[in-house]
Amino acid sequence: MAVKKEELIREYSKAIREGNAAVFGGAGLSRPSGFVDWKGLLRPLAEDIGLDVDKETDMLSVAQYYKNQRRTRGGINKAILDAFSMDVRTNENVKILSRLPIVTYWTTNYDELIETGIREANRNPDVKSESDQLSSMKRDRDAIVYKMHGDVNRPANAVLTKEDYELYEYRRPLFRTALKGDLVSKVFLFIGFSFEDPNLDYILGQIHSLLGENVPTHYCFFKKIQETDYSDPIEYGYCKARQDLQEENLRNYGIQTVFVDSYDEITNILREIERVSKLNKIFVSGSAQEFPAPWTKDSAERLASQLAGALVHEECRITSGFGLGIGSAVINGALDVIYSEKYRHIDEHLCLRPFPQNITDSTMRIERWRQYRESIMDETGISIYMFGNKKDDATGSMVIANGCIQEYEIAKAHNHIIIPIGSTGGAAKAIYDDVKSNIGNYPYLVDCIDQLGKETDINNIVSIVVNIVKNQTK
């Protein structure tokens, strides 16, 4: 029985947060960018030797027949270069997967889409397409891209013919070893993959023989066979039965299938995975130069400190911009729990993002701070607002901190979970009023919105906010 997309989103997002997620990209991942699949690559070669790929089921043999007849693989090398050297744009699925904080990417594709996408996401990929590259580690790498069948830039070494697969164990044994290790220790998402590759079949079979029913859980996408796509009901019945059997067989290897009605659904699911995977990363927005009654400097700092500590206790990562009057308390509260409970893993639970200072050009400062806020919101998934006031430079009177309001607007654009503690006044109250007047857009706040507006007991506020966060990250 196939699994629901909700399970995939929940479990794979959890694997991302825990650093155990991996991606395996097949030809279907590259096709939306304009690259050919296996049949498309071999079609002109098959025609040259009098074959029709649409009538063939064994593409390895087609490539082998071509090489046998020509006594050289020069034509195969040229076909790979011609097909995968095009200048194309990364597609949306690649962009999302590249932005995710995933370290391990595997692919059977020759193209450079995955590594290009990772670079465009301002991450540094370490590409492994040959066995001798596996023993070296690129400095400052953010992700490893294993190209187990080779790379377009080295077409002579690409794995394509039947002979290439037969000799794989001798020419590329370390790739099989590395993949087996990752399949045992990580949660894979297979995307654009047909599961017709002999190498993967061999590796999955070995893992299953060693672990039996204890194989780890992985996930894959399949487009559901639909009757409306077939004019012949007999052909539909056959294809549907074959897909059901394949789905059942994959379960033997721990690979759970998520069926979609259209490929567009995959993009929406990946977007939701990206959103949910950030829900343990929380930005605390707020500043205070004065404290409206009944709040005092001491009670405001205790609220910020206790809230940050409680969220870290729940395995969240706090991001702080060092807001005046609030930032230090947030940091101290987070550190207290980190040092007492989290093996001093500071970077896993606390991210300090002080704003750039000493920018004399006001226009440049405003733009730089806006960009800075954009980057913070892009890295986090929940925003909490408290207090938010400052002294007006011209009049000396206390006003709402417009930086907090800007952070709120950016957070909405990034589809954040927004939690305004309206009882603290200032920008938080203004944000609270806007949220309450549009409460239909914030269903997770319906049951507690009134409490957020009037509660001043620190323990109660912390409990309310932590419960909202926990409900979102279940």
Strand order in the sheet with 187-191: 125-128, 143-147, 104-107, 21-25, 187-191, 218-223, 255-260
Is position 149 annotated as part of the catalytic site?
Answer: yes
Contacts of 115 (CB under 8 A, 6+ apart): 125, 127, 145
Pair 114, 107: CB distance under 8 Å: yes
Taking the C-alpha atoms of residue 127 and residue 151, their distance in angstroms, rounded to an integer, is 10
Active-site residue among 149, 218, 349, 416?
Answer: 149
Pair 153, 85: CB distance under 8 Å: no
Structure tokens at 338: 């980190």
Which contiguous run of DSSP H or E holds residue 182?
A: helix 173-185
Taking the C-alpha atoms of residue 96 and residue 332, their distance in angstroms, rounded to an integer, is 34
Burial of 1 (0-12, 13-18, 19+ CB in 10 A): exposed
Identify whether 354 is preceded by a cis peptide bond (ω within 30 of 0).
Answer: no
The type of residue at 146 is Y
- Helix, strand, coil percent content, the chain, rounded in steps of 5: 55, 15, 30
Q: DSSP states of 121-166 as a string?
A: TT--EEEE-SGGGTT---TT-SEEEEETT--TT-GGG---SHHHHH
- The dihedrals phi and psi of 214, each to the nearest 5 degrees, come to -90, 15
Query: Beta-carbon neighbour count of residue 433 at 10 Å?
Result: 13
Catalytic residues: 149
